[in-house]
Amino acid sequence: MKKTWLIYLSGEIHTDWREQIMSGAQALELPAEFVSPVTNHEASDAAGDVLGEESQQFWRDHKSSKVNAIRCNTLIEHCDIAIIRFGGKYKQWNAAFDAGYCAALGKPYITLHDESIIHPLKEVDAAAKAWATTPQQVVKLLQYTLNGA
Protein backbone atom coordinates (compact mmCIF):
# COMPACT_ATOMS: atom_id res chain seq x y z
CA MET A 1 0.00 0.00 0.00
CA LYS A 2 1.43 3.33 -0.98
CA LYS A 3 -0.08 5.12 1.97
CA THR A 4 1.92 5.95 5.03
CA TRP A 5 1.07 3.83 8.05
CA LEU A 6 0.49 5.79 11.23
CA ILE A 7 2.24 4.17 14.22
CA TYR A 8 1.38 5.28 17.74
CA LEU A 9 4.16 4.86 20.32
CA SER A 10 2.62 4.53 23.78
CA GLY A 11 4.11 3.99 27.21
CA GLU A 12 7.43 4.30 29.00
CA ILE A 13 9.22 7.63 28.57
CA HIS A 14 12.57 7.13 30.33
CA THR A 15 14.58 5.25 27.71
CA ASP A 16 15.22 5.90 24.02
CA TRP A 17 13.07 3.06 22.61
CA ARG A 18 11.05 5.51 20.49
CA GLU A 19 14.21 6.89 18.87
CA GLN A 20 15.51 3.39 18.19
CA ILE A 21 12.32 2.38 16.43
CA MET A 22 12.10 5.61 14.45
CA SER A 23 15.71 5.56 13.31
CA GLY A 24 15.46 1.87 12.44
CA ALA A 25 12.38 2.53 10.34
CA GLN A 26 14.01 5.50 8.68
CA ALA A 27 17.08 3.47 7.76
CA LEU A 28 14.78 1.00 6.03
CA GLU A 29 12.75 3.78 4.44
CA LEU A 30 9.54 2.28 5.78
CA PRO A 31 6.34 4.10 4.80
CA ALA A 32 5.65 4.95 8.43
CA GLU A 33 4.85 8.08 10.36
CA PHE A 34 5.34 7.91 14.13
CA VAL A 35 3.29 9.76 16.70
CA SER A 36 3.42 9.78 20.48
CA PRO A 37 1.73 11.30 23.49
CA VAL A 38 3.60 14.20 25.00
CA THR A 39 6.70 12.46 26.38
CA ASN A 40 8.04 15.32 28.45
CA HIS A 41 6.99 14.23 31.93
CA GLU A 42 6.79 17.71 33.45
CA ALA A 43 4.99 19.21 30.51
CA SER A 44 2.51 16.37 30.59
CA ASP A 45 1.79 16.80 34.29
CA ALA A 46 1.31 20.52 33.71
CA ALA A 47 -0.89 20.20 30.63
CA GLY A 48 -3.89 21.80 32.33
CA ASP A 49 -2.07 24.49 34.26
CA VAL A 50 -2.71 27.06 31.56
CA LEU A 51 -6.39 26.87 32.55
CA GLY A 52 -5.67 27.99 36.11
CA GLU A 53 -3.82 26.60 39.08
CA GLU A 54 -5.27 23.91 41.28
CA SER A 55 -4.66 23.58 44.99
CA GLN A 56 -5.52 19.89 45.11
CA GLN A 57 -3.33 17.26 43.50
CA PHE A 58 -6.31 15.20 42.35
CA TRP A 59 -7.84 18.04 40.33
CA ARG A 60 -4.55 19.16 38.86
CA ASP A 61 -3.94 15.61 37.66
CA HIS A 62 -7.52 15.32 36.50
CA LYS A 63 -7.37 18.50 34.46
CA SER A 64 -4.05 17.64 32.87
CA SER A 65 -5.08 14.09 32.08
CA LYS A 66 -8.21 15.22 30.29
CA VAL A 67 -6.16 17.67 28.24
CA ASN A 68 -3.69 14.92 27.39
CA ALA A 69 -6.56 12.63 26.43
CA ILE A 70 -7.47 14.94 23.53
CA ARG A 71 -4.18 14.10 21.86
CA CYS A 72 -3.90 10.47 22.95
CA ASN A 73 -7.39 9.31 22.06
CA THR A 74 -7.33 11.10 18.72
CA LEU A 75 -4.01 9.52 17.77
CA ILE A 76 -5.04 6.04 18.92
CA GLU A 77 -8.23 6.25 16.90
CA HIS A 78 -6.34 7.44 13.81
CA CYS A 79 -3.34 5.12 14.03
CA ASP A 80 -2.96 1.85 12.13
CA ILE A 81 -0.78 0.13 14.71
CA ALA A 82 0.12 0.95 18.32
CA ILE A 83 3.38 -0.06 19.98
CA ILE A 84 2.96 -0.19 23.75
CA ARG A 85 6.11 -0.21 25.87
CA PHE A 86 6.35 -1.29 29.50
CA GLY A 87 9.60 -0.55 31.32
CA GLY A 88 10.88 -2.12 34.50
CA LYS A 89 9.82 0.68 36.81
CA TYR A 90 6.73 2.62 37.79
CA LYS A 91 3.09 1.63 37.61
CA GLN A 92 2.58 2.56 33.96
CA TRP A 93 -1.17 2.14 34.25
CA ASN A 94 -1.63 4.59 31.40
CA ALA A 95 0.11 2.14 29.06
CA ALA A 96 -2.18 -0.71 30.12
CA PHE A 97 -5.13 1.67 29.78
CA ASP A 98 -4.08 2.41 26.19
CA ALA A 99 -3.84 -1.32 25.51
CA GLY A 100 -7.38 -1.89 26.75
CA TYR A 101 -8.56 1.08 24.71
CA CYS A 102 -6.95 -0.39 21.56
CA ALA A 103 -8.38 -3.84 22.29
CA ALA A 104 -11.94 -2.55 22.58
CA LEU A 105 -11.55 -0.64 19.30
CA GLY A 106 -10.06 -3.66 17.52
CA LYS A 107 -6.90 -1.63 16.86
CA PRO A 108 -3.84 -3.93 16.49
CA TYR A 109 -1.03 -3.36 18.97
CA ILE A 110 2.38 -4.82 19.72
CA THR A 111 3.77 -4.90 23.26
CA LEU A 112 7.42 -4.23 24.00
CA HIS A 113 8.74 -5.45 27.36
CA ASP A 114 11.19 -7.74 29.09
CA GLU A 115 10.59 -11.34 29.94
CA SER A 116 10.56 -10.52 33.65
CA ILE A 117 7.09 -9.01 33.50
CA ILE A 118 5.35 -11.60 31.37
CA HIS A 119 3.06 -12.74 34.13
CA PRO A 120 1.56 -9.40 35.24
CA LEU A 121 1.15 -8.40 31.59
CA LYS A 122 -0.60 -11.60 30.53
CA GLU A 123 -4.00 -10.00 29.85
CA VAL A 124 -2.36 -7.14 27.96
CA ASP A 125 -0.29 -9.56 25.89
CA ALA A 126 -3.22 -11.87 25.24
CA ALA A 127 -5.04 -9.12 23.34
CA ALA A 128 -1.88 -7.96 21.53
CA LYS A 129 -0.90 -9.10 18.06
CA ALA A 130 2.72 -9.63 19.10
CA TRP A 131 5.10 -9.34 22.03
CA ALA A 132 8.60 -8.00 21.31
CA THR A 133 11.54 -7.60 23.68
CA THR A 134 13.67 -5.19 21.65
CA PRO A 135 13.02 -2.14 19.47
CA GLN A 136 14.86 -3.97 16.67
CA GLN A 137 12.23 -6.70 16.69
CA VAL A 138 9.52 -4.07 16.43
CA VAL A 139 11.27 -2.54 13.43
CA LYS A 140 11.41 -5.95 11.75
CA LEU A 141 7.72 -6.53 12.39
CA LEU A 142 6.93 -3.14 10.89
CA GLN A 143 9.16 -3.84 7.89
CA TYR A 144 7.36 -7.11 7.27
CA THR A 145 3.90 -5.66 7.81
CA LEU A 146 4.27 -2.39 5.92
CA ASN A 147 6.27 -3.70 2.99
CA GLY A 148 4.28 -6.90 2.83
CA ALA A 149 7.33 -8.99 2.19
Residues in 46-65 at the binding interface with a second copy, rule: CB under 8 A: 47-48, 50-52, 55-59, 61-65
21 scored as a contact of a second copy (CB under 8 A): no
* Minimum distance, C-beta of residue 7 to a second copy, in the bound complex (Å): 11
Among 12, 18, 83, 145, binds a second copy (CB under 8 A): 145
CA angle (50 as vertex; 46, 55 as ends), nearest 5: 65
140 scored as a contact of a second copy (CB under 8 A): yes
Do β-strands 32-35 and 5-11 pair in parallel, antiparallel, or remain unpaired?
A: parallel
Question: Is the Cβ of residue 27 or residue 122 nearer to a second copy in the bound state?
Answer: 122
68 scored as a contact of a second copy (CB under 8 A): yes
Question: What is the DSSP secondary-structure string of 20-68?
Answer: HHHHHHHHTT-SEEEE-S---HHHHHTTTGGG---SSHHHHHHHHHHHH
